[in-house]
Amino acid sequence: MKSFVNRLAAKFRYAFEGLFHGICHDSSIRIQCGFALLAAAAGILFRFTVMEWMILILVIALVIAMEFVNSSIERLCDLSAPHINEASKRIKDYAAAAVLIVSIGALLVGLLIIGGKIL
């Protein structure tokens, strides 16, 4: 039982290490966190309901998680093939496209919620 708890605690520790390292060292992750703070400020300003906060928190988590996956794919590419090559370009572009898609989705969700309140 104790070793299970220790292993669980280690998993959380490693995950939090990744979280803090990404926030401290990856500019793309920091930019997404900045947008998340702006979105949270908009939520306060426009007095989001509980349901709207739930949606906002979900899309923010999705965008930031996708940015972490994108950054880890970039690092994996640079580690396995540090030279310029077509495969790395496609892999990195696809990962960046995934971030773009969820970011556009998040932006539309934000615009719909705020637009609904303004109108």
Q: How many residues bind ligand ATP (CB under 6 A)?
A: 12
Amino acid at 57: I
- Which residues are CB-neighbours of 31 under 8 A, at least 6 positions away? none
The annotation status of 67 as a binding-site residue, yes or no, is yes
- 67 classed as catalytic: yes
- Which residues are CB-neighbours of 32 under 8 A, at least 6 positions away? 63, 64, 67, 103
Q: For ligand ATP, which is the closer residue by CB, 17 or 78?
A: 78
The annotation status of 89 as a binding-site residue, yes or no, is no
88 binds ligand ATP (CB under 6 A): yes
Least distance CB 80 / ligand ATP (angstroms):
10
Name which of residues 7 to 46 contact ligand ATP (CB under 6 A). Answer: 26-28
- Give the whole-angstrom CA distance, residue 53 versus residue 49: 6
89 binds ligand ATP (CB under 6 A): yes
